[in-house]
């Protein structure tokens, strides 16, 4: 079924949802976005995603043509118009149409579109068995270059690491920062469990402040687990009892091997399973 797309001011048919080849979002990757889940027709953590979008935009001096309240209503309307039950929203703000040349101020008006569609799920056995990952040689962007907290349209840094993963026949790569500490995966945040303590790198290590990460940290605390944010080395990943990734696309997924080293017993661990289960109950509104 053809989708209804929110384009700038309102909903249009998918066939009419077109943007200019002069949009700097396309010409320079100049823009910001959010990827958001819908569970049972309810938009997951919309407030957190809208807040992060506005912060990303502020950081790159990109004005958004709507208020956070108006944008929230536009997202809800797009979800309703497409009758999305379980799905995925892509909310994109581009610098807009300008002249050739990278001066962003030639763009008179930022562009905005919202896609609400079905989600392509990973095969269930991947979650059961866990995934293998590698350490990428591509270093995560330096925070004084393009801060990884900005969810920008320029994903080449992550894509180069993803290519390394795919070349090694694994689905994900772990990215390290310029100091050698774990930053994040290409589209997910990193967690380990060691002696029942749940550890994740602080945002300053060079990762996106993931919405899923935030939810999982809260759920882990609620379960009475000790939770700490601290710098992790590659060695820490190798010798953790459990290892998992969190993100809008992957949700909570166990990692059972990295760079040929088996993690823990080689199976998805009990804390990962517990947090995954709690995450779903929370996402589907079965637990507050
Ligand atoms: N790090 C990076 C670099 C990301 O892009 C995350 C961490 C996890 O953040 P959230 O807020 O999702 O828990 C992301 C999220 C896609 C897609 O289409 C990518 C993301 C989210 C949704 C869809 O590839 N990245």
Report the CATH number at residue 42.
3.30.470.10
Same structural domain, 168 and 245: yes
Q: What's the confidence (pLDDT) of residue 121?
A: 73
65 belongs to a structural domain: yes
| 81-110: pLDDT as tens digits | 999 999 999 999 999 999 999 999 999 999
Q: For residue 87, what is the DSSP state?
A: E
Partner residues linked to 261 by β-bridges: 258
Same structural domain, 156 and 21: no
Q: Which domain holds residue 172?
A: 124-283
251 sits in the region (left: phi over 0; alpha: psi -120 to 50; else beta) called left
How far CA 108 is from CA of 24, 36, 63, 101, 111, in Å, comes to 11, 28, 10, 14, 10
Q: Compute the distance from residue 99 Cα to the ligand 1 centre, in Å.
A: 30
Same structural domain, 113 and 128: no
Average pLDDT rounded to a whole number, residues 125-141: 96
pLDDT over threshold 90, residue 120: no
| 13-53: pLDDT as tens digits | 999 999 999 999 999 999 999 999 999 999 999 999 999 99
222 belongs to a structural domain: yes
CA-35 nearest atom, ligand 1: 22
Q: How many domains does the chain have?
A: 2
Determine contact, residues 35/249, Cβ cutoff 8 Å.
yes
Q: Compute the distance from residue 208 Cα to the ligand 1 centre, in Å.
A: 8
Same structural domain, 31 and 151: no
Q: What's the confidence (pLDDT) of residue 122?
A: 79
Same structural domain, 80 and 147: no
- Number of other residues whose CB lies within 10 A of the CB of residue 262: 12
Same structural domain, 129 and 231: yes
192 belongs to a structural domain: yes
Same structural domain, 174 and 219: yes
pLDDT over threshold 90, residue 269: yes
The length of the chain in residues reads 288
**Element housing 276 (H / E):** helix 270-283
Active site residue 132: no
Determine contact, residues 38/116, Cβ cutoff 8 Å.
yes
- Number of other residues whose CB lies within 10 A of the CB of residue 37: 21
Same structural domain, 149 and 83: no
Determine contact, residues 79/38, Cβ cutoff 8 Å.
yes
Determine contact, residues 170/199, Cβ cutoff 8 Å.
no
Same structural domain, 128 and 246: yes
Domain-ending residue, one of 100, 117, 134:
117
Same structural domain, 103 and 216: no
288 belongs to a structural domain: no
Q: What's the confidence (pLDDT) of residue 260?
A: 98
Residue from 151, 194, 230, 278 carrying the catalytic annotation:
151
Domain-ending residue, one of 87, 117, 147:
117
Q: What is the CB < 6 Å shell around ligand 1? A: 35, 158, 184, 187-189, 207-208, 210-213, 246-249
- The closest residue, in CA terms, to atom 15 on ligand 1 is 187
Same structural domain, 166 and 260: yes
Q: What's the confidence (pLDDT) of residue 286?
A: 84
Q: What's the confidence (pLDDT) of residue 270?
A: 98
84 belongs to a structural domain: yes
- The CATH number of the domain holding residue 175 is 3.20.10.10
Domain-ending residue, one of 74, 89, 117:
117
10 belongs to a structural domain: yes
**From CA 287, how far away is CA 280, in angstroms rounded?**
9
Same structural domain, 150 and 258: yes
- The closest residue, in CA terms, to atom 3 on ligand 1 is 187
């Amino acid at each position: 079924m053809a989708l209804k797309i929110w384009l700038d001011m309102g909903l249009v048919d998918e066939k009419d949802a077109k943007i200019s080849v002069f949009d700097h979002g396309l010409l320079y990757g100049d823009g910001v976005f959010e990827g958001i889940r819908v569970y049972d027709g309810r938009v997951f953590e919309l407030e957190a995603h809208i807040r992060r979008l506005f912060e990303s935009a502020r950081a790159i001096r990109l004005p958004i043509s709507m208020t956070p309240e108006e944008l929230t209503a536009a997202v809800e309307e797009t979800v309703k118009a497409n009758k999305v039950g379980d799905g995925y929203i892509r909310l994109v703000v581009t610098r807009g149409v300008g002249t050739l040349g990278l001066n962003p101020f030639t763009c008179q008006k930022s562009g905005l579109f919202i896609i609400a569609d079905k989600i392509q799920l990973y095969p269930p056995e991947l979650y059961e068995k866990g995934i293998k990952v590698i350490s990428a040689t591509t270093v995560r962007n330096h925070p004084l270059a393009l801060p990884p907290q900005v969810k920008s349209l320029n994903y080449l840094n992550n894509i180069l690491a993803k290519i390394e993963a795919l070349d090694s026949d694994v689905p994900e790569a772990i990215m390290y920062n310029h100091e050698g500490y774990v930053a994040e995966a290409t589209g997910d945040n990193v967690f380990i469990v060691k002696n029942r303590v749940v550890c994740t790198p602080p945002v300053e290590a060079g990762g996106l402040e993931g919405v899923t990460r935030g939810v999982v940290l809260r759920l882990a605390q609620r379960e009475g687990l000790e939770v700490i944010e601290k710098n992790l080395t590659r060695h820490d990943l190798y010798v953790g009892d459990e290892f998992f990734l969190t993100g809008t696309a992957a949700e909570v997924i166990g990692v059972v091997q990295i760079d040929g080293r088996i993690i823990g017993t080689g199976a998805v661990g009990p804390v990962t399973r517990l947090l995954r289960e709690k995450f779903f109950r929370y996402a589907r509104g079965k637990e507050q």
